[in-house]
Amino acid sequence: MKHDDPKGPDQSQSALDELKRRSSLEQAQNDLLAMVVEMENEVAALVPGMTWEFKREVSRVNCTDRRFDGTGGEAVHIGQYVSATPLPDDVWPEALRRVREIAAKHGADGMTQYSDLPGDHSVQIYAKGDGIDLYFGSQVNTVLSPQTGCHLPAAKLTPPTVPGPTTAR
């Protein structure tokens, strides 16, 4: 333990145990992708001709919650899903309602509103504690940018099997 580390061994083990109870990072990524597809479909249903395009690479990042420092936990930033179609101001409230409803089914019921001006809408939707985090906004383009919470990669969740001793016949 480093001297400047506010966590003792018990807290580190508790954080690791918490991550072991969660789904794998890969499963969390798949769940988040399914959530984003549902959001894209719901928002596109409000604006005829709206289509979405994936714009950035998926990247693994360190967990933002310091409780998980040193546990091997990671988060995945899924990239950005962008529509060249901005949401009309009169459609934004319903689009936001639908996105929040879907996010809430995945544990993300917190929201910070950054902007709600004509032609400029943006929010951060998140799970309190350490869960999914989603930017949703519309200006020139409409953007969904999601990130998982902290999870252990599958390889770290399931310890490798070590072959036992073999008996000669």
Tens-place pLDDT, residues 35-53: 999 999 999 999 999 999 9
Q: According to the model, what pLDDT value does residue 122 have?
A: 98
Task: Provide the total of helices (H) and of strands (E) in the chain, helices listed first.
Answer: 4, 8
For 87-119, write each residue's pLDDT tens digit: 999 999 999 999 999 999 999 999 999 999 999
> Per CATH, is 14-154 categorized as 1.10.10.10?
no
On the CB side of 148, CA atoms within 13 Å amount to: 28
**What band does 1 get if pLDDT is binned at 50, 70 and 90?**
very low
Domain residue ranges of the chain, discontinuous segments joined by +: 14-154
Question: Which ranges in the chain belong to alpha helices (H)?
Answer: 9-21, 25-44, 92-105, 154-157
